[in-house]
Amino acid sequence: MPRLIADIVERTIATYAATFLGLLLADGFDLTSLGALRAASIAALPAALSVVKGALGPLVGDSGTAGWLPRSGG
């Protein structure tokens, strides 16, 4: 189970970082503006959905990971 939690945490951080950086780049990359705060809060939504997806992973795919793909036969 700890590996599953680490997998979900990694996926959540990666989703948040990618979304936040994408929004900052689209907005002009000014960290001192209100747009940066808005980007930070908006980026939390896909990260939260990543947690939900990861929690469902063991029910849908391989029980040891947050992924939805089935375990390979080889």
Q: Count CB atoms within 10 A of the CB of residue 34.
A: 8
pTM here is 0.74
Closest by Cα among 45, 20, 24 to 35:
24
> Tell me: the pLDDT tens digits for 7-53?
999 999 999 999 988 888 887 777 677 777 888 888 899 999 999 99
